Amino acid sequence: MSEPVPSKFQTGQFILIDKPLTWTSFDVVNKVRWLIKNEIKVKKIKVGHAGTLDPLATGLLVVCSGKFTKRIDEIQGQEKEYTGVITLGATTPCYDLEKPVDEEFPTDHITKELIEQTALSFIGEQEQVAPIHSAKKVDGKRAYEYARLGEDVVLKSNTITIKEFDVELCDCPKTEIQEKSKINQELPYQKGIHVKFRIVCTKGTYIRSIARDFGLKLDSGGHLSELRRTRIGEFCIADAIAPEDVLSI
């Protein structure tokens, strides 16, 4: 009796998913795995993703199935492009909207020209420290585990490269992120200056940390109020699908 022919998902597929807001990257992987297993009637199939997106980020998540899971490290190492909004004038403990604003700062001194000059100063190789509320490992534990316990931990910096950083001022009405996140809706997230950006960077870059550092360089505070990943290497968001449409590829 001949062996059954492996499905395309077992042979290996790159599945480009447009991650929905509030979903974790593991939510996407679990959904894709469940759909594939039910479609091809198998108990197990390898499925993984090539680069985490935070719950309050949307956009491109490269999901690998079958033998293509061996190429996850290769995909993770490629350059990435993001778009989003940095809000100046306030900080949060996690550098995005996962937690409420903890401090506010003046913004009267900030001009369009100063914002553009500051963005240019980020271009090139530099050292970056990850957010304490991140999945970066310290002595075998995730940094966010220390943060949840209120423990102090020192994160080592990583060398990253910012290749492109375009900015422009924008109006920022209440966003979908604010509508769906668990934050206090009365907090002043619409205050301050809102900077729309597009950034191209290397592996390991935390855009939340860019938002924090951007505010610091402007003698103010800053946090990430919107983020969308649009490209990983040659994979583009224009070719991505919703998680539930995975069987259509």
pLDDT in tens, 7-17: 899 999 999 99
Nearest to 192 by CA among 88, 41, 109: 88
Share of the chain above pLDDT 90, in %: 71
pLDDT digits (tens, 9 = 90+) for 55-71: 999 999 999 999 999 99
| pTM of the predicted model as reported, rounded to 2 decimal places | 0.88
Q: What distances in angstroms separate CA 204 from CA 177, 228, 249, one per listed residue?
A: 23, 16, 29
Q: What residues form DSSP beta bridges with 194?
A: 87
Instruction: Identify the pLDDT of residue 1.
Output: 41
pLDDT digits (tens, 9 = 90+) for 169-223: 887 655 555 555 544 444 444 568 999 999 999 999 999 999 999 999 999 999 9
Average pLDDT, the chain: 87
Active site residues: 54
Domains along the sequence of the chain with CATH: 8-77+234-248 (3.30.2350.10), 80-232 (3.30.2350.10)
**CB under 8 Å to 175, separation ≥6 — which residues?**
85, 225, 226
Mutual angle of helices 112-121 and 207-217, in 10-degree steps: 130
